[in-house]
Structure 1
Amino acid sequence: MDRIDRASLVIEAPPTVVYDALLDRESLEAWLPPDGMRGRIERWDPQSGGGFRMVLSYLDATYSPGKTSAATDVVDVGFAELVPPERVVQRAVFESDDPWYAGTMTMTWDLAAAVNGTEVTVTATDVPPGIDQAVHETGIASSLANLASYVEGRG
């Protein structure tokens, strides 16, 4: 069976506000890096067929060696599908010499209107085998919590 990593959270903001935060450069730099990391976008093309390149740096690489270097993960992300304000599908490729991190991972961000805002569900498929599932799901949940903190009150 193919591995699926998933996390979801109800965010107290309307779907349009959440969707906009998925496609805004400054927003992504602020909320996408999970706890213990910071991010910087080097290339930005927010349209279907476009994408971005993000450098994620570990604040303390002692116990979290990176995929690209000891302290970084570099990922090229393409926007495969944009359906405002319901879905963003990303194709992510990590820059790494380690074959355990090779391949294209698909990240699907589904947004559904909920009574208190927007239920955001992130589903990752074709996850490289070098990425531990529990650690990945914790990272996705952390990014979702950061997204909630970032957008709540902006709607």
Structure 2
Amino acid sequence: MGRTDRASRVIAAPPATVYGALLDRDSLEVWLPPDGMRGRVERWDPRPGGGFRMVLTYLDPADSPGKTSDATDVVDVGFAALVPPERVVQRAVFEADDPSYAGTMTMIWHLTAAGEGTEVTVTATGVPPGISQADHEAGIASSLANLASYVEAAD
């Protein structure tokens, strides 16, 4: 079955606000790239069967070589399911020559009301073996921290 990578965080914003940030192009460019990266969305179609293409650029490529080029990771993400305001299911494929980054990774963003906020749990399956579990979970946690900062400042 392969491994499952997971991270979660409680965010001080209602589920509808968090869900909106998951499906807003400008928002994704701000919060989705983990620390040490910046992102640019090249294609955007926010509906089931649609998706987006994101170019993630390492701020210091010497520290973390990219999967697509020396300084970038390019990922095509499809929206497999959108269930407002509780779940977004994505299928992500990295553009890479190295077969250890090949395959389709499924990421499920599950949002649950938690008091005045939202618990966001991200579960990834089918993670390419070239991505270490520790690094991937740290990256997801970093994106969740960015998401919290983004929506909490707007709320």
TM-score, shorter chain, exceeding 0.5 = yes
- Residue of structure 1 in register with 2:95 after alignment: 95
Letter in 2 for 1:117: G
- Residue of structure 2 in register with 1:63 after alignment: 63
Large movers: runs of 4+ above 4 Å: none
* Matching of residue 108 in structure 1 with residue 108 in structure 2: yes
**Tell me, what secondary structure is at the counterpart of 2:139?**
helix
- Residue of structure 1 in register with 2:50 after alignment: 50
- Residue of structure 2 in register with 1:38 after alignment: 38
**Tell me, what secondary structure is at the counterpart of 1:29?**
helix
- Residue of structure 2 in register with 1:131 after alignment: 131
Deviation at 1:153, TM superposition (A): 4.1
Letter in 2 for 1:73: D
Distance 1:72 1:154 in 2: 29
Letter in 1 for 2:106: T
What is the root-mean-square deviation in Å for CA atoms of aligned residues? Answer: 0.8
TM-score under structure 2 normalisation?
0.98
Deviation at 1:76, TM superposition (A): 0.1
**Tell me, what secondary structure is at the counterpart of 1:145?**
helix
Distance 2:114 2:152 in 1: 14
**Tell me, what secondary structure is at the counterpart of 1:152?**
helix
TM-score under structure 1 normalisation?
0.98
Aligned residues: 155
**Structure 2 gap segments, 5+ residues each:** none
Letter in 1 for 2:101: Y
**Tell me, what secondary structure is at the counterpart of 1:128?**
coil
Deviation at 1:63, TM superposition (A): 1.6
Deviation at 1:114, TM superposition (A): 0.2
Q: How does 1:77-92 map to 2 (within 5 A)?
A: 77-92=77-92
Distance 1:153 1:71 in 2: 30
Deviation at 1:116, TM superposition (A): 3.4
- Residue of structure 2 in register with 1:122 after alignment: 122
Distance 1:15 1:138 in 2: 23
Distance 1:37 1:86 in 2: 27
Distance 1:101 1:154 in 2: 35
Q: Deviations over 1:8-34 (max 9, x none)?
A: 000000000000000000000000000
**Tell me, what secondary structure is at the counterpart of 2:18?**
helix
Letter in 1 for 2:149: S
- Residue of structure 2 in register with 1:24 after alignment: 24
Identity level (%): 79
Q: Deviations over 1:22-73 (max 9, x none)?
A: 0000000000000000000000000000000000000001120000001000
